[in-house]
Amino acid sequence: MTETAILPLHALAHGRAGDKGDRLNISIIAFDPADYLLLSEQVTPERVAAVFADRAPTSVQRYELPRLAAFNFVLDGVLEGGVNRSLNLDSHGKTLSYRLLGLSIEVPAGRLAEIRQANER
């Protein structure tokens, strides 16, 4: 059995949140396209829905963009009515990309060493 380590998604990918009405989108873009498959296995719509469970999304859709080594997640009903209705301090939901980037990702131990090396360079 391969040894694995747990990393936050933040170490493997970057992303940005955008809003339109009560719909939130979050892009998740692999720093290294080699991680695309790993991310596609672990950053599933079900796990993303679980991250935002307290906001009870009415739907979570994942769009795959292999050419960009990226995913686009679209969540409905999580912005408390949208920017003109929400009572949230961040009524756009702009900070929410980093909520998703906190997701735990299991990586092979060998991959962890490579990432550490890359970060040191």
Q: Which residues bind other proteins (CB under 8 A)?
A: 10-11, 14-16, 18-21, 23, 25, 27, 29, 31, 61, 63, 65, 67-68, 70, 72, 74, 81-85, 87-89, 91-92, 119
Radius of gyration for the alpha carbons in the chain, expressed in angstroms and rounded: 15
**Residues present in the chain in total:** 121
Nearer to other proteins, 8 or 110 (CB): 8
Which lies closer to other proteins via its Cβ, residue 1 or residue 87?
87
Considering the complex, what minimum distance in angstroms separates the CB of residue 83 from other proteins? 5
- CB of 16: closest distance to other proteins in angstroms? 4
Q: Which is nearer to other proteins, 1 or 96 (CB)?
A: 96
CB-CB contact of 88 with 39 (8 Å): no
How many Å apart are CA 78 and CA 57, to the nearest integer? 5
Helix (H, G, I), strand (E, B) or coil at 67: helix
Helices of type H across the chain: 36-42, 45-51, 96-100, 109-120
Cβ proximity to other proteins: between 2 and 84 the closer is 84
